[in-house]
Structure formats: structure tokens, C-alpha cells
Amino acid sequence: MEERKGFGSNFGFLMAAVGSAVGLGNIWGFPNKMGANGGFTFLIIYLILAACCGIIVMIGELALGRKTGKGAVGAYKALSKKFKWLGWLGILSAFLILFFYCALGGYCIKYVVLNVGNLFNAGFGSNGLSGADVFGNFMSNQMESVIYGLIFVLLTMLIVMGGVGGGIEKVCSVGMPALFIILLICIIRACTLPGAVNGLKYMFVPGWAVENGVIPKAPNFFSVLSTAGGQMFFSLSLGMGAMITYGSYLSKKENLEKNALLIVIMDTIVALMAGLCVIPGRFALDPEGALGGPALLFITMQNVFDKMPLGSVFGILFYLLVVFAAISSSISLLEVIVAHFCDKARDAGKGDKRKAYSLIAAVAVGLGCVLVCLDCLGGAGIAPMDLLGVEKSGWSDCWLDFFDCVSEGIMMPLGALLMCLCIGWEVGPKVVDDEVTLEGNTFKSKGFFNICVKFITPIAMLLVLAGQLDSFFGFGWFG
């Protein structure tokens, strides 16, 4: 049978796993959610959740993957009869996230090109238009957004076709350190702008956003908890099998607990750094601009670069950074799907057929991505609310929000909750202990892990899930 090839080194694994975690969620999600939800207080709640849930689920997922040597579907199948379907939830989540992630990744490529145009005063630059007009024009040109979205899908596919060691590891081992350096350059630029200090206050000082009228009222504790929890799952790529899949390629020699801790720490550091790059820029140069979501990245930030000396150079650097971050995440999502089919083919003695499966999966992702791109500014005329016959709301009026709500809001916390129940109550935490302590490694947080995986994490997960459902569907459970 053909050998299942994994990562060549622990550094390569770490860069790939951090690459999966560091993505659009860090850049436009974290800083704004932190500012709007109590600044430093949010950070503390996020860190507590990361310690009691993030690291626990991370260790659990990596251990399941490495123990079984299979992608998400194969791992759950090998482990438990009751939970054998759970891997499919991961594959479905990966598709839904990829649909909108690739569309947004495509927009980021467009903005690199736009800033190159600005640098050379070429016709494909902003042509003196404001950020809002540039984005509006781009959104109303459906063909253009479809083309950029598909370029992003194509790049993702080519890397995954190269395999784990050849494609994913190579790209991430160069891309992630480069991303870090570009981020440092952008932070220095943003934080030395006059007025940048208000951005730091927005992000870190509790209550500053309400006192200064940036947000109307302070959110209550449960909504802060669920916002932090939802952000954490998405940001750490947990609850849908990405880390199970990467764990399945990790060598048995490596220290799993230390790797899990490092991934969580690095992801959180990059999220904070991304905040130091985008938020001070917004407060200094576009004080009325959006603070989150696509508008932060594609309108506010472009306005910031338009007003900054040498702005097109910083614009190119910044959007390149975002493209790197997005692509290192999208390859991990596609790998969740491809790994499963390769495993099946290999088990059937047919070789791994990686190229063929990458192509088929990418075509399916491309179709969903086209749907999201066509939908830009309601263009396609078939919003989820029309199809489902429901009223217009935050999740039903466009495909991007719909896929985001179902995957990030519901399926990821649900996937993590069920994984904890599977490990804590069905197969028992000893499975993880056996895997972590291979080759003489010690499991330093074993006692903590066991309590969390059985009780604390599932309860926190339930609260996060309820809070997410409440905020998406407006049930009013948490006021």
C-alpha cells in the first residue's frame, strides 16, 4: 500500500497549523470584537476560554488525528460507533467555510493588484475614488469578483495538490515567517500615525468604546462570552476536523501538548498584532470608517492607505499579508476534504489519487464561491431568505453571512462540544493520555485536561452555542 506522507519537520507542522489558525478571523474579527466587547476584559475572557476550551479541544483533535493516522471522518470512525458520523460534520463545515473564505481571499488578491495600480498610477488603481466607491464598483462588477475568487480557489488547489510535505509545509514554512515580518512593518507604520493612540484605547481600555460613542451600549456578559467563544473556535480552526487532519500527519516523536500550546499562543499573539496594525490606522486616518467585517478590510483600510505617505507600498504589503493569511487557512480547509478521500483510495489500494481529489473538491468549492461572489451587493437575486422563504435578517440576506452563520456560529461549537463528549464520556480521556505520552513525553496538564474535557469545556461550549444561536436568530435568551 502507498505510504501516507506527512510533515517533514516539527517546524513545518507548526507553521502549517499556525497558518491554518491565523487567517481572516484574526485580522478583521478579533480586533473589532475585542474593542466592541470591553477591550481588556474581553481579552481576559478570551484567554480563559482559550485555556479551558481552546487548548483542550486542540490537544484532543491533534491526539485523535495522530492516534488514528486518518482524516476527520476516518478518525471518528476508528474511534467510536456512536460518533462515527461526526467527521462528516467537519467535511460539511469545511465546504461551507471555503465557499465564503475563497470569495474573500479573491477580494484580497484584487486589492494587491489595485495597490500595484496606485503605485504606478495605472488605470487598474483607485483612479482617485474613495475606498467605498472602489469597493462598490468592484462589488457591482460580478465578473471581476468571480474571476478573483476562482484565482484564489485555483491557488489553494495547486498547493494542496502538492501534498502535505511538498505543498502545504513548503508554502507555510516560508509564508508564515514572511507574514510575521510584514505585520511588524505595518504595526510600526500604523502606531506612529498621529491619532493612533485612540485605536489602542479602543482595543484595550474597558468601556472606552461606549464612553466615546463608538458603540451605543455595553454588551452583557453572555453575549461577550459567546462572541469570544465563537471567535476562538473560528480563529483556532477548531471543531471541524482541521486539526485532526493536520495531527494525523504529525510524527509520533513530537510533543503534542507543547505543539497545541504553541499554536494557541501564536494565534492569539498574531490576532493582537493584527489589531495593532488595523485599528490604530482606522482611528488615525478614517475615524468614521467601519471597524469590522469586509468593510474594515476593503473600505476603511483602503482609505487609510490612500491617505498615508507611500500608502500604495504599505497597501501592497498589507494585502499580501492578508492573502498569505487567508491561503494558509484555506489550504487546511481543503485538506480536511481531500485527506478523507485520499485515505479511502489508499486503503482500497488505489494509490492516494491526491491530484484528482483536489481537483474535484476544488470544482465543488469553486461553485459555492461563485454563488457568494455573484451575490455581491445582492446581485444574484437568490438570497438564502428567498430560497428558504424566511424574513430578511443578519444571516439570511446574503450567502456570505448565511454560510458564515451556519459554519462558524453553529457547526464549529457543536463539533467541539460533541468531540469533548466523545473523548470525555464515550472513549475516555485515556486515549488522549496514551497518545500524548508516547516516546517518553509527559502530559503535564493531564488532570486539568481530564476535568475540562468532561465537564468544563462541554458546559462552556453549550453556553457559547446558545449565545451564538441567540445572536444570529434574535431569540432574546440572553437579553
Report the C-alpha gap between 19 and 105 in whole angstroms: 14
Nearer to ligand PFF, 13 or 443 (CB): 13
If one asks whether residue 235 binds ligand PFF (CB under 6 A), the answer comes out as yes
Exactly one of 234, 283, 305, 443 binds ligand PFF (CB under 6 A); that residue is 234
Exactly one of 45, 242, 291, 398 binds ligand PFF (CB under 6 A); that residue is 242
Give the footprint of ligand PFF on residues 297-336 (CB under 6 A).
329, 332-333
Binding flags for ligand PFF, 173-212, as an x/- string (CB under 6 A): ----------------------------------------
How many CA atoms are closer than 13 Å to the CA of 146, on its beta-carbon side? 12
If one asks whether residue 248 binds ligand PFF (CB under 6 A), the answer comes out as no
Q: Which has the closest alpha carbon to 191: 267, 98, 304, 88?
A: 304
Smallest distance, Å, CB 439 to ligand PFF?
Answer: 27
User: What does DSSP assign to residue 129?
Assistant: -
Nearer to ligand PFF, 306 or 335 (CB): 335
Give the footprint of ligand PFF on residues 25-84 (CB under 6 A).
25-26
Answer for the pair 322, 27: CB distance below 8 angstroms, yes or no.
yes
Give φ, ψ of 49 to 5 degrees.
-65, -40
* Secondary structure (DSSP) of 303-320: HHHHHSTTHHHHHHHHHH
Smallest distance, Å, CB 396 to ligand PFF?
Answer: 22
Smallest distance, Å, CB 241 to ligand PFF?
Answer: 7
Applying CB under 6 A, the span of 57-65, 229-237, 279-287, 306-314 interacting with ligand PFF comes to 229-237
Nearer to ligand PFF, 12 or 429 (CB): 12
Binding flags for ligand PFF, 331-350, as an x/- string (CB under 6 A): -xx-----------------
Answer for the pair 336, 72: CB distance below 8 angstroms, yes or no.
yes
Length of the chain measured in residues: 479
If one asks whether residue 99 binds ligand PFF (CB under 6 A), the answer comes out as no
Nearer to ligand PFF, 72 or 161 (CB): 72
How many angstroms separate the first and last alpha carbons of the chain? 57
Answer for the pair 107, 280: CB distance below 8 angstroms, yes or no.
no
Answer for the pair 281, 193: CB distance below 8 angstroms, yes or no.
yes
Smallest distance, Å, CB 98 to ligand PFF?
Answer: 9
Other C-beta atoms within 10 Å of 85: how many? 12
**Count of residues interacting with ligand PFF (CB under 6 A):** 15
- When computed from its CA atoms, the radius of gyration of the chain, rounded to whole angstroms, is 21
If one asks whether residue 97 binds ligand PFF (CB under 6 A), the answer comes out as yes
CA angle 333, 427, 6 (to 5 degrees): 35
If one asks whether residue 20 binds ligand PFF (CB under 6 A), the answer comes out as yes
Applying CB under 6 A, the span of 22-30, 58-66, 142-150, 192-200 interacting with ligand PFF comes to 22-30
How many CA atoms are closer than 13 Å to the CA of 176, on its beta-carbon side? 25
Q: Which has the closest alpha carbon to 236: 83, 64, 388, 20?
A: 20
Nearer to ligand PFF, 105 or 219 (CB): 105
Exactly one of 237, 300, 358, 471 binds ligand PFF (CB under 6 A); that residue is 237
Nearer to ligand PFF, 268 or 303 (CB): 268
H or E stretch covering 64: helix 55-68
Smallest distance, Å, CB 267 to ligand PFF?
Answer: 8
Nearer to ligand PFF, 24 or 75 (CB): 24
Report the C-alpha gap between 345 and 333 in whole angstroms: 19
Q: Which residues bind to ligand PFF, rule: CB under 6 A?
A: 20-21, 23-26, 97, 234-235, 237, 240, 242, 329, 332-333
